[in-house]
Amino acid sequence: MAVRVGNKVQAQVTRVEVGGTVRTRRDYLAAEEPMEIRLRAGGQQRTVAVTMRTPGQDFELAAGFLFAEGVVTAREQIQQIRYCVDPDVEPEQRYNIVTVWLDMPELPELATLERHFFTTSACGVCGKATLEVLEMRGCPVLPPGPQVTPEDLCCLPQRMRQEQPLFDRTGGLHAAGLFDPQGRLLAVREDVGRHNAVDKLIGWALMQKRLPLHDAILMVSGRASYEILQKSIVAGLPMVCAVSAPSNLALALAQQFRVTLVGFLRGRRFNIYHDVGRIGLERNA
């Protein structure tokens, strides 16, 4: 029987070494639970999304999701964020429901969020959004800068990896980290979903009044998907780096909004898929 311990779950596993031993032991798994995001404004309340996430930094996740989707555009529009206190909800489920109070006379237009009513931890909006959405929302092409050296860039994965305690215990989480142009870590968040980890970072920056992040670098474990580029552009991030490859839609967004897109950032090597201008390169003759 699995036992929940904070944001991880302890379970019994059978470890097999082919040609060697078979033994039973206790191990940890990353917790994955649904989180319902509710909005309240002008005496109205509505559920806008249910996402599968790793519990932890739930308020940042809600704030970042709402900002990335254009429901809120500034920290001042959020009055407060609280867990559910509805007595009709079972106590163990109240921490899976987050309500965001908005400083608005009524609920904003939410038609664009219909595709999000249920999202998995793995695929975000599953590519249903189009390249025109960001232009329709008025997201500008990102300005030049910052300048980053290849040496500082190569240090990002290891520096982020050193700040992943839950991954150390479970081995089953994605991470997203924010860095300054000198490679200093600003914040890191973990989650079973890549896009959730990015939303948590954006929510952190929003609540700290750090947006837009024109002078920061985003590093993500795994691949750079369309959803991650979309969220990065909304947050004003000019550079996105990934351990693995980007998708073709991610590249299209990088080209459209002048994002420096780096993939396969491992050890002393990386690929630049778009906009080498922010990385100080000395080309071989």
Active site residues: 123
Cα–Cα distance for residue pair 100/77, rounded to 1 Å: 10
Helix and strand element counts for the chain (H, E): 7, 14
Q: At what angle do helices 248-257 and 226-234 cross, to 10 degrees?
A: 20
Question: Rounded to the nearest 5°, which phi and psi values hold at 33?
Answer: -140, 155
Backbone angles phi, psi at 214, to 5 degrees: -70, -15
Measured CA to CA, the distance from residue 80 to residue 29 in angstroms comes to: 32
Q: Where are the alpha helices (DSSP H) in 109-247?
A: 132-136, 150-161, 165-170, 194-207, 226-234
Q: Rounded CA gap, 183 and 170, in Å?
A: 26
Between CA 278 and CA 186, with CA 212 as vertex, the angle to 5 degrees is 75
- Residues 126 and 147: their CA atoms lie apart, in Å, by 33
